[in-house]
Amino acid sequence: MNPLRTPRIASIRGNTGGNAVQISITARQCEVTPGVRQFAQQRLEKLQKYASDIHSVHVIVRHERALHEAEITLRLNGHELVVTQQHAEAGAAIELAADRLEEQLRRHKDRRIDRVQRNGGEKSPNGAAESPTGEDVLADEE
């Protein structure tokens, strides 16, 4: 197998307890240094504060012409966020892509919170909305 196409996988434990997020980094037509890999893992660790249901993060770094292109795919429960950025340096391309992904994830979290608040309470395990007092929302309508 070509060592330039072999993904390296790191497992990161979030601050939510037990879930480990898998981060894989793949380099195509270039080589990513261990320092850049470590930087990418540390930078993507920070995304845990926006969502506790992150399943995996995949980073692909390509070298085309004089630019490095970083593509980051983040998988959540029911969603997939994909961001692509270019820069002359691989680390800078990863940083730009991580910034955009962080912004998307922040907006996604805000939408989740707004949806719960708009429904008048927290979502119960069966998917029905409950009021803060614990009474069913449907009971209030009757």
Residue 134: pLDDT over 60: no
What pLDDT is attached to residue 52? 87
Check: pTM over 0.85? Answer yes or no: no
Chain mean pLDDT for the chain: 79
Q: What percent of the chain has pLDDT over 90?
A: 51
Query: If DSSP states are collapsed to H, E and C, what string results for 51-62?
Result: CCCCCEEEEEEE
When pLDDT is averaged across residues 106-134 and rounded to a whole number, the result is 69
- Identify the H or E element spanning 96: helix 90-118
Residue 18: pLDDT over 80: no
What pLDDT is attached to residue 103? 95
- A 10 A CB-CB count for 85 gives 20
What pLDDT is attached to residue 119? 86
Q: Where are the beta strands (DSSP E) in 65-131?
A: 67-76, 79-87
Six token digits for residue 111: 């939408």
What pLDDT is attached to residue 80? 94
Residue 5: pLDDT over 80: no
Greatest CA separation for the chain: 66
Strands 56-64 and 20-28 turn out to be: parallel
85 near 69, Cβ under 8 Å? yes
21 near 57, Cβ under 8 Å? yes
CATH architecture assignment, domain 8-141 = 2-Layer Sandwich (3.30)
When pLDDT is averaged across residues 76-104 and rounded to a whole number, the result is 95
**Rounded Cα gap, residues 29 and 68, in angstroms:** 10
What pLDDT is attached to residue 36? 95
25 near 40, Cβ under 8 Å? yes
Domain boundaries, the chain: 8-141
26-71 tens-digit pLDDT: 999 999 999 999 999 999 988 988 888 899 999 999 999 999 999 9
